[in-house]
Structure formats: C-alpha cells, structure tokens
A = this chain, B = another copy of it.
Amino acid sequence: MDKILRINMGPDGGPQVKEESMGDYAGFGGRGLTSSIIAKEVPPTCHALGADNKLVIAPGLLSGSLAAMSGRISVGCKSPLTGGIKESNAGGQPSQMLGRLGYAAIVLEGKPKDDTLYKIYINKDGVKVEPDNSLKMLGNYDVVDKMKAEYGDKIGCVSIGQAGEMKLAGASVAFSDMEQRPTRHAGRGGSGAVMGSKGVKVIVVDDTDCPARAPKNPDAFKAANKAFVQGLRKHPVTGEGLPTYGTNVLTNVISEAGAYPTNNFQVGTFEGASKISGETQAELEIERGGKGANVHGCHRGCVIRCSGTFYDKNGRFLTKQPEYETVWAHGGNCGIDDIDAIAQIDRLDDDFGLDTIEMGATIAVAMEGGLAEFGDADAAINLVKEVGKGSPLGRILGSGAEVTGKVFGVERVPTVKGQAMPAYDPRAVMGIGVTYATTPMGADHTAGYAIATNILKVGGDVDPLKPEGQVELSRNLQIATAAIDATGMCLFIAFAILDQPDTFQALLDVINGFTGASMTADDVTALGKQILEMERDFNARAGFTPKDDRLPGYMKTEALPPHNITFEVSDDQLDQVFKW
C-alpha cells in the first residue's frame, strides 16, 4: 500500500490517471492521509465544488491486512457543508480491497468541462476511467446492480446517488457492504457533492488475486491480533452490547439519560423510545426471519459485528439495520416512533446517497418550520422522496439543516459550522457538546465520543450535567480518535482500549507487528495532535475563528427538559480544547 492514485477529471482531452509514490505522505493513512493531502494541496478558501477542491478516499494504515477491525475508510475534502476540512468515515468493502490493491489513496482532482458522468474501474491490472451517462440520476442500489452486471460479483463500489450528482451538501459517498449493497456511507459534510462535482458516479474496485498485505513481523502481529480480538470480546460494550443490539442499543440509554434530542432538540426524553429501540429492533428482525444483529460486521475483518439486516413486514430485505444515529434522526428527533417508517427512510437515504444524520435533523427543522407535524411519518417519507426527485423542496432539504432553516425562517437550527448535530443533546451531555463545538469537522459525535465517559462510564466517569472536566475529556478523545481514524480501525475499539490497558497495548503491538515500527502510546497521542493541528490550520486559513467553535445560541438560553439544563461550558473553556 505504497501508491497514491491521482485522477484528474479536468483536462480537455478527458480524465488523466497518474500513480505516485507516497513521497511526503509516507506513514500516513486514513484520516491522517486525507487531512494531510487536503491541508497541503487544497486552497482553503476555494469553492468546495470547484476545480481546486480534491476528493481523497483513503483506507487506513492497516487496511488490507488481516488485523481485526481494520476495514474502515476515510473520505476527505473541503466540505461544501461546513466550508472547512472534512474527514468522513465509513465501513464497507472497498477499504480492504484498496489496501490489497496497494492504494493508500485515490485522489479525484480538477473538474470536468461538461456534464459527462464517469465510472472508474480499478483492479490489479490498472485503472480505467470511462464515460457512462447511462448512470445519470440512478440511485446507489441501481448503480451497484449495474456494476455487478458489468464487472461481476467480486467487486466493491464507491458511489453517489442522485444527491451527489445534484451536488447537494447533504450528499454522502456510499461504500458497498459484504452483500454488495450500498449501505455504508461516508455521510457527513457533503463529500458526495464533491464527488458529483468531479463527474464521478462510481469507483468499482476489484481485488481479485490480491492477497492480504503481509505484516513485517508475522508472529508478533498474529499474537497481538489475537490478544486484541480477545480484548474486544471481553469488554461489555464491544463484546456484548453492540453485537447483540447494534448501535441502536443506545436509544433507551440516551433517552433515559434525558439526552435524547426529541422534536428538533426541544426535549431530552422521547416517549416512543422503546418502540424504536435496539432491543425492539433485534426482536423484530428475528421475528421477520433474520438472525438478530450480530450477523455482520460492516466490513471484512470485523469482530464486533454490530451491523444487521432490516426486513420489511413480509420478511424481505429492506435495508441494513438502521444505526442508532439514523433511528434517532428520522425517529425521535422528528417525533416518529415507527421503526418501519424509519427503516424505509434509511433505505431512501442510502439510495439517494444522503447523510442520515443531516437529513433527520433537516426534516425536524422543516417540521419546526411548519412543513409537517412532528410525528408524521408519512410526511417525513414524502419529504425525503422530494430529494430523490430533485424538486426545489428536495434540493433545499438535501442541502442540509442550515440551509433549510434559512429558507424557512427557522431560528432553532442545531448545527455547528453548518453541520447538524447527532443524537445527543449537548445540554444534557456537556462533553459531547465540547466535541460538537470544537472539532474541526462541524458537529460530529465520532470526533470525540464523550458519551463513552459521560454516559457509558467507559474510560472513567465525568458527570454529563456539569461543565467540569468536559474540556479535558473531549480533548483526549479527539486526539485518540484522530489517531484511530488514521489506522483504518473502527472507532468502536475505543471502548475496549480506553478501559483495558492490555487491549490498548495489543493494538500498539498489532500496529508495530504489521509495520515493523515501535509506536508507543505517546506516539499515538502525537499523531492525533498532528492530525488535529493540520485540520485546525486548514480551517483557520479558510477563515474560521473561535467564534466558529460555538454551539448555537439557543442552547445557552433554552433549558432542556427533563433536566432543565442549558449548555454551561463557557466560551473561554471551549477555547482551551486545543491548547495542549
């Protein structure tokens, strides 16, 4: 995995393909690599949909190896949603496949002269870029089906739906899963719109005849990987909660904690929580013919296996098991307690290529703006369908919560840096509020998942309802996360490595066994800081200031029931997060 594949979509004669060595980027992977390339090569004030922006798709340092959990992939660009740097992270198959093919990153550059749509095919023999306007305005499911018909069933696909083609800021990049369905998305920040602006509909990856990447030190690697897997299996979250119920195990937990944003962040507890909880969902899936949650990982090599399959009332596949964030966004946040309706929207989002978090937050803002009643599932489904149609209303919604708030004159818009907040109200979990406010990514729970310590009591115990300790918590998590996102490892390993020192050591041993390096805990911290500093520097050069590291004003004045609490971390405290 020592090559960068650059595809310039801009030249007059059509796309140009170039393979480069890693050069200055050697040693970086995943988010470390996407952020390095964006920070170094993209002018921070450029238009996100213009020729100067780049879309970087990078497996992690360990992707393509046999290391457990190493199949996540990073997508980087200047975000059309936030105007800042973006790394969005997904599962799916392409990460391991690109790793095996030897690509540390694909970089899409330039901008085509016309509206021809392209497909890219990558296998061991090389790279083909071909126009294919028959793909225009297809959903992700149809695109993947067409690619399977064309290239066989060993492929992985990286694709955009209608939303990406329309260059909407809520558009995702889809990664096909082990069943070759486009269910794993780099959702946040509109990376799909950037792919659309490059005129690329789908990248087909075929790693036939490419073996797993060989570790430098096979015995050490194998032993460490075994210890690492054991560590994951013994921790209650990664060994039990997530495999049994999937991420949606959180619905009841967060609602009971009074931190479940309901009806566009008006209330912290959702009456209908139990009807859409992971427990209910798992039961339903088994009842309808599935095997419960823990049949899959989202990628090859996963041992946590928190993914599942959602079957409709007739027992037919409808969509992947909707994630907690999705169930919240399209469920409680819109006052909807109908899991079938939520799953139907999940399918629509995946097909159109939309970030489920941004879309759920957007529908709730639209509801507050009077477009539908909270709780009206049919209306919510119809609103999402508008995006697929490309109607003016659909384009508004597909542009995200901030634009929707502007267009419909709604003041209560739960965004930071233009990106919608995920499924935890920062007033009732102040640690996650610090992360939302300060991460270079815009409101993003994965950037420093303080829920772990605030609510789940993993890695310590910091009272979620008090401002004390939240800055340190978020800072440490943001640093650790940036490093994990560079490895290609799933972020969920954090639960085990935060609580179990031997599992953290096993992770280091896995990395060192694979790379032959001798990385220490301090090196991990240094890497995390380095990545964050690059990202913050990009944003500063794009014009961001501490004023952008703030929650929306109403969260400081409007108390959230049932705790009747506002966000109490001061601006001065927020400004301490990156002072290490």
Query: Could you tell me which A residues sit within 8 Å of B by CB distance?
Result: 43, 45-47, 49-50, 52, 80, 166-169, 193, 196-197, 391-393, 395-396, 399, 403, 406-409, 411, 541-543, 545, 547-548, 550, 552-554
Chain B residue with the shortest CB-CB distance to A190: B406
Contact between B547 and A411, CB atoms less than 8 A apart: no
- 24 CB contacts below 8 A, A to B, read A43-B553, A45-B547, A45-B550, A45-B553, A46-B553, A47-B411, A47-B553, A49-B411, A50-B411, A50-B554, A80-B406, A166-B409, A168-B409, A169-B406, A196-B409, A395-B407, A395-B408, A396-B407, A399-B406, A399-B407, A403-B406, A541-B547, A543-B547, A545-B545
Chain B residue with the shortest CB-CB distance to A43: B553
Q: How far is the CA of A41 from the CA of B399 in the complex (A)?
A: 33
Chain B residue with the shortest CB-CB distance to A571: B45
Q: How far is the CA of A408 from the CA of B167 in the complex (A)?
A: 8
| Distance to closest chain B CB from A536 (angstroms) | 14
| Distance to closest chain B CB from A167 (angstroms) | 3
Contact between B409 and A553, CB atoms less than 8 A apart: no
Q: How far is the CA of A392 from the CA of B399 in the complex (A)?
A: 13
- Measured between beta carbons, the chain B residues less than 8 angstroms from A552 are 47
Contact between A407 and B411, CB atoms less than 8 A apart: no
Chain B residue with the shortest CB-CB distance to A549: B543
- Measured between beta carbons, the chain B residues less than 8 angstroms from A169 are 406
- Measured between beta carbons, the chain B residues less than 8 angstroms from A46 are 553
Q: How far is the CA of A187 from the CA of B548 in the complex (A)?
A: 28
Other-chain contact of A392, B45, B50, B52, B393 (Cβ < 8 Å): B393
Chain B residue with the shortest CB-CB distance to A395: B407
Other-chain contact of A553, B50, B396, B403 (Cβ < 8 Å): B50
Chain B residue with the shortest CB-CB distance to A171: B409
- Measured between beta carbons, the chain B residues less than 8 angstroms from A196 are 409
Q: How far is the CA of A580 from the CA of B554 in the complex (A)?
A: 38
Contact between B409 and A403, CB atoms less than 8 A apart: no
Chain B residue with the shortest CB-CB distance to A44: B547
| Distance to closest chain B CB from A225 (angstroms) | 45
Known: A46-B553, A47-B554. A403 touches B407 (CB 8 A): yes
- Measured between beta carbons, the chain B residues less than 8 angstroms from A392 are 391-393, 396, 407
Chain B residue with the shortest CB-CB distance to A115: B370
| Distance to closest chain B CB from A487 (angstroms) | 33
- Measured between beta carbons, the chain B residues less than 8 angstroms from A80 are 406
Q: How far is the CA of A167 from the CA of B548 in the complex (A)?
A: 24
Other-chain contact of A409, B193, B406, B408, B541 (Cβ < 8 Å): B193
| Distance to closest chain B CB from A297 (angstroms) | 35
